[in-house]
Each structure stands twice: as C-alpha cells, then as structure tokens.
Structure 1
C-alpha cells in the first residue's frame, strides 16, 4: 500500500483557523465530503464515536483520526495541516497541527490496518513532519506525501 492509493489531491488542505479538536473533526469531514462525495455528517459522527474509544493524537503534533464508514469500498485518506496547532488531548499533551484521517469500509480487514501502519510509520519521522510543516501549500503537501513512499521503498 502507498500514500498515492489512499489520497487524492483534493483531500489535502491547509487550515488557518481551526480552533478546537471538534472543529478539526468537522473540517476533516468537510474535506472528505468534497474529495470523496461522502456525507460530512456521517463522517463526523464516525470520527467522534471512534475518538470516544481513545484519543488519536499520537504525539509530536500528529493525530491520526480514523473511522469505518458505510458507502466506501476501499480505504481513503485526508490530510490537514493546521497553521495554528490545537489541543487534541494527545498522549504527550502537545497541540496537534499534522492530521491524517483514514476512512475504511465497515467490513475492512487487514487493508485498514496496513494503511494505518503506513501513515503512522511515516508520520513518526520528525524530519518528514518538519518538511510537511515547512510547505503550507496543498499541492506541495500532496507531492511530499505521495513521494515519501517511493523514496522509502528505494
């Protein structure tokens, strides 16, 4: 699995005014609705339900919200870069500005876990996250994300 399999350019956005974790969830849902034609209300509901099981703020300014959704047949992703970090109740108590949302079909098995592992492994690299933070342009971010896999594989 590669980032290019998870992400379309329309699902990469930079937000300057997300003021809370709840607002980020709504922003993420709006991006998913626009990029993949899924109803934002269902996406928000699924994200909040998943978040109630445990925070997806994984530390070092990174969050990986994820949920299972009706209406999709393959794992999809969305990436947000926040110009102003928000409190996400992350495990290290640091605010979050790098967010990669993953959305899987209700009956997804190992593909969902493979995607989550790929994103987690990639965004655990501080130098990679610094590169993302230094390029607040959606087109550049998409390129960085989708080229990361081919560089790592080489």
Structure 2
C-alpha cells in the first residue's frame, strides 16, 4: 500500500489553532469534502462516533482519528499539523499537534486496517514527527509523509 495513493497533496493542512476536538473534526470533514467529495457532516459524525468508542490520541502529540462511511469507495486520508497543540484526551494526556485522519468505505476491512497500521507505525517514529513539526509548508509535509510513510510499508 502506498500512502501517496491515500493522501492527496491538497489534504495536507497547517492550522494555527484548534479550540476543541469537535472543531478539529469539523475541519477534517471540510478537508475531506474539498479533497475527496466526502460529505463533511457525515465525516464529522463518523469521526465523533468513533471517538466516543475510545480515544484516537495515541500519544506523543499524535492523533489518528478514523471512520468508515457509506458512500466512500476507497481509503483516503487527511493530515493536519496544528501550530498550537491542544487537549485531545490522548492516552498519555499530552496535547496533540499532528493529526492523520483516515476515511474508509463502510464495508472495508483489510484495506482500512492496513492503512491504519501503516500510518500508526510511521507516526510513532520520533524522527518523522520531528520533521513534521519543523515544517509549515504543506508541500514539504506531503513529501515527508508520502516518502517516509510509503517506504515503511515495503
């Protein structure tokens, strides 16, 4: 699986501040609509419902919200770097500033899990996270994500 096929360059954003998890999910829904045509309200609802099952803040400033949606035909992703970390109720109670969201078809099993595992493994890499935090250019962030994360899939 190649991350470049999941993450469109336009789905990488830098946001100065996020006031809440709810606001972040609204922003992710808007990005999903703009980049992939996913209904933004459905994306927001699905992310919120998934988050209610358990936190997707995996620690060290990283969150991996994800959801399955009717009408989505392939796994897609959105990446947001927040300049001012915010409380996400992460497992380590640390504020979050790197968010990689995944949207998958409602009936996807293996592809969704493979994408989530790929992103999760790579976002645990401290050197990748440091490079992501050191950049504000979305093209550079996309290149870092797709080069580093795709290479780890092999």
- Within the alignment, does 1:58 sit opposite 2:47 as a pair? no
Equivalent in the alignment of 2:75 = 75
- Within the alignment, does 1:38 sit opposite 2:45 as a pair? no
**Cα distance in 1 between the residues matched to 2:43 and 2:153:** 32
CA deviation after TM superposition for structure 1 residue 152, in Å: 3.8
Equivalent in the alignment of 2:146 = 146
Equivalent in the alignment of 1:117 = 117
Gaps of 5+ in 1: none
**Cα distance in 1 between the residues matched to 2:150 and 2:117:** 16
Equivalent in the alignment of 1:4 = 4
Segments ≥4 residues shifted beyond 2 Å: 149-154
CA deviation after TM superposition for structure 1 residue 17, in Å: 2.3
**Cα distance in 2 between the residues matched to 1:90 and 1:79:** 17
CA deviation after TM superposition for structure 1 residue 150, in Å: 5.0
CA deviation after TM superposition for structure 1 residue 107, in Å: 0.5
TM-score (normalised: structure 1):
0.96
- Within the alignment, does 1:131 sit opposite 2:126 as a pair? no
Equivalent in the alignment of 1:22 = 22
Gaps of 5+ in 2: none
What's the RMSD between the two structures over aligned residues?
Answer: 1.2
**Cα distance in 1 between the residues matched to 2:134 and 2:38:** 30
CA deviation after TM superposition for structure 1 residue 151, in Å: 4.3
Q: Once the two structures are superposed, what CA deviation does each residue of 1:8-30 show, in whole Å capped at 9, x if it has no partner?
A: 01100000121111111111111
**Cα distance in 2 between the residues matched to 1:149 and 1:40:** 26
**Cα distance in 1 between the residues matched to 2:149 and 2:21:** 28
CA deviation after TM superposition for structure 1 residue 149, in Å: 3.6
Equivalent in the alignment of 1:102 = 102
Equivalent in the alignment of 1:87 = 87
Equivalenced residues, count = 154
